[in-house]
Amino acid sequence: MTTATAGGAQAVPPADKRPPERAGGRRSVTGTRGAVAAVFLLPALVLLGALVLYPIGYSVYRSFFDQAGTGFAGLDNYTALFTDDTIRTAVKNNAIWVVFAPTISTALGLIFAVLTERIRWGTAFKLIVFMPMAISMLAAGIIFRLVYDQAPERGVANAVVVGVHDTFAESSGFPKAHPLPVHPLKAGGGGSFVTKEPVRAGEPVHLPLVGVAPAKMPGDAEPAKDPAPSPDGKITGTAWLDFTRGGGGRPDVVDPKELGLKGITVEAVRDGKVVATTTAGADGVFTLPASADGAQLRLPASNFREPYNGVDWLGPALVTPGIIGSYVWMWAGFAMVLIAAGLAGLPRELLEAARVDGANEWQVFRRITVPMLSPVLVVVLVTLMINVLKVFDLVFIIAPGSSQDDANVLALQLYRSSFGTDADLGVGSAIAVLLLLLVVPMMLVNIRRIRKEGRR
C-alpha cells in the first residue's frame, strides 16, 4: 500500500507489522504497554525511594531540629557547621583533600599511563599499580597505620628515614647514660659530664657510667681494663659501664664482667677550652697527651644524644598529608587505567605528524596528548573529588586517637556526631545535607560530561 506525497509515492507498512498503539493513539517504540512497563519498574522505584529518597528527605527534615528531635532549631545546626572548631577543622581538611588528593592521583595516573605505553612490561607495571584497588579501605588503613608507625623497627616509613639520616649523621652510642653520685663525675651542663677534680699524669682516671642496658652496648665491646700509668706524662683512663649483670659488682671499680664504653668521646678542658680529645677503645681504655695534665676531663653531650627516631607521621602536623598519601597509593591505579583507555583511543597520526614536524616528546605531550585527553582527565578528576568528599575509612583507621581531631573530615564528623558518646542527630543530619550539596554539583558535571562524550 502506498500514499501520495509531494515527492511521489511512499510505502506504508502492513497493519500486522505496525507497533501497537498506546492509550491516546501514541505508539510504543518497544511495543510494550505503559502499564506493563510501570509494573516492572515499580520494584526498582520502591527500592530507590526507600533507600535513597526517603533517607535524604528525612535527613533534611531532621537537620532543622535540636538534639532531642522535639524542638525546632531552625538554622542553628547549619550555623554550628561553621562555628564549632571541630567541624570547622573537618571542613578545612575536606578542602585540602578535594584539592590535593584527586589532583595528585590524576597526575600520577597520567604519568604512569603515558610512560608505560611503549615499554614491553607496561601491562605488568599497570597491574601492580592497580592492585591496591583490590584492597578494601579498611585493609589499606591497617597497612598504612603500620607503615607510619613511629618505631623504626616496625614502621617502614621511619625505617627508611632513619636509615638515610644515620647514613649522613652519626648517632649517639650511649643515650641516657649517666654517673652515680659516688662516681668521680658530675653534671657539666648541656647534657655533658665532667670530672670533679683535675686529672694528673701518672694517676689513671676512672670514668664509670650507668644507665645503658647491656643489650644496647656495642657488639664488639670488650671487658673493661684498668689502665696502666703512662711513663711519659700522658693521661690514661678507662670509661666503662659500671654494672655487673646478675649483681655482685662494686661502684667505681672495674669488675671482670663489666664492659668498656667503646667509642665514647673524652675531652680535656682547661679554662673552658678543649685542649685534647680522644675516644675509648673496645675495652674502654683511652689516652690523652701530656697537655691534658691538670685539666678536667669531660664526656660531651654528643655521647648521650637520643637516637633519631624518624618523623612523627601521625602527629598533628603530618597526619592529613600522610593519610592522603595512602589514598593516592590506592587510587592512582584507578586513574591510570581510565587514562590509559583514553590514551589508546587517540589518533596516532596526529602524534606522528607532530613528531615529523619537529616537536619533541614534551611538546607532543603538553600540546597534543593532554588537550585531547582533557575529557577523560576531567571525568577522572571529578570522580575522585566525589570520592574524597566521602572518605571515612582511611581517616578513622590510620589517625590515632591523639590526632584524630586534627585529621577530622566531614564523613568522620558525621559518624561522630550521629553515633558518638554525645550524639546530636540534628548536627549529624546537617553535615549529611552539606555533603549532599557538595557532591551533587560534581555528579551533575560528571554526568553532563559523560553524556556529551557519548553523543560524539
Q: How far apart are CA 351 and CA 183, in angstroms?
A: 80
* C-alpha to C-alpha distances, 34 to 25, 28, 220, nearest whole angstrom: 12, 8, 89
Lowest mean pLDDT among 8-22, 151-165, 297-311, 316-330: 8-22
Residue 81 is predicted with a pLDDT of 86
User: Would you say residue 235 has pLDDT above 70?
Assistant: yes
pLDDT in tens, 187-229: 988 889 999 999 988 888 999 999 888 777 887 889 999 888 8
Lowest mean pLDDT among 13-27, 163-177, 260-274: 13-27
- Residue 323 DSSP SS3: helix
Residue 172 is predicted with a pLDDT of 66
Task: Sort strands 192-195 and 205-209 into parallel, antiparallel or unpaired.
Answer: unpaired
pLDDT in tens, 37-63: 888 889 999 999 998 899 889 989 988
Cβ atoms 398, 148 nearer than 8 A: yes
Average pLDDT, stretch 423-445? 88
Cβ atoms 304, 175 nearer than 8 A: yes
**Which residue's C-alpha cell is 557519548?**
454
pLDDT in tens, 347-380: 888 888 988 888 888 888 888 889 999 888 988 9
Q: How far apart are CA 101 and CA 234, in angstroms?
A: 65
pLDDT in tens, 134-144: 889 999 999 99
Provide Rg for the chain, Cα atoms: 37
pLDDT in tens, 60-85: 998 898 888 788 888 888 888 888 88
Cβ atoms 209, 177 nearer than 8 A: yes
Burial of 246 (0-12, 13-18, 19+ CB in 10 A): exposed
> At residue 313, what are phi and psi to the nearest 5 degrees?
-60, -35
Position 28: which residue type? Answer: S
Residue 209 is predicted with a pLDDT of 93
User: Would you say residue 20 has pLDDT above 60?
Assistant: no
Contacts of 59 (CB under 8 A, 6+ apart): 429, 432, 433, 436
Q: How many CB atoms lie within 10 A of CB 335?
A: 29
DSSP 387: H
pLDDT band at 5 (very low <50, low <70, confident <90, very high): very low
Closest CA to 297 of 147, 215, 186: 186
Closest CA to 235 of 197, 206, 199, 275: 199
pLDDT band at 445 (very low <50, low <70, confident <90, very high): confident
Q: How far apart are CA 223 and CA 31, in angstroms?
A: 99
Average pLDDT, stretch 283-305? 91
Q: Mean pLDDT in the chain? A: 86
Long-range contacts of 440-447 (CB under 8 A, 24+ apart): 442/382, 442/385, 442/386, 442/389, 443/386, 445/378, 445/382, 446/379, 446/382, 446/383, 446/386
Angle, helix 54-62 to helix 425-454, in steps of 10 degrees: 140
Residue 1 is predicted with a pLDDT of 47
Residue 23 is predicted with a pLDDT of 47
pLDDT band at 185 (very low <50, low <70, confident <90, very high): very high
**Rounded to 5°, angle at Cα 390 from 380 and 411:** 160
pLDDT in tens, 237-289: 999 999 888 777 788 888 888 999 998 999 999 988 999 999 999 999 999 99
Residue 361 is predicted with a pLDDT of 85
Residue 29 is predicted with a pLDDT of 54
Q: Which of 61-70, 97-106, 413-422 has the highest mean pLDDT?
A: 97-106
Q: How far apart are CA 171 and CA 231, in angstroms?
A: 35
> At residue 150, what are phi and psi to the nearest 5 degrees?
-65, -35
Q: What percent of the chain is modeled with pLDDT above 90?
A: 39
Cβ atoms 252, 217 nearer than 8 A: no
Closest CA to 146 of 138, 137, 154, 134: 154
pLDDT in tens, 382-398: 999 999 998 999 999 99
User: Would you say residue 152 has pLDDT above 90?
Assistant: no
Q: What percent of the chain is modeled with pLDDT above 70?
A: 91
Q: How far apart are CA 176 and CA 191, in angstroms?
A: 10
Cell of 34: 505503559
Reported in sequence order, the residue ranges of 281-424 that DSSP labels E, i.e. its strands, are 285-288, 296-299
pTM confidence score: 0.73
Residue 163 is predicted with a pLDDT of 87
Cell of 187: 653534671
Average pLDDT, stretch 106-133? 88
**Strand partners for 241:** 209
User: Would you say residue 7 has pLDDT above 50?
Assistant: no
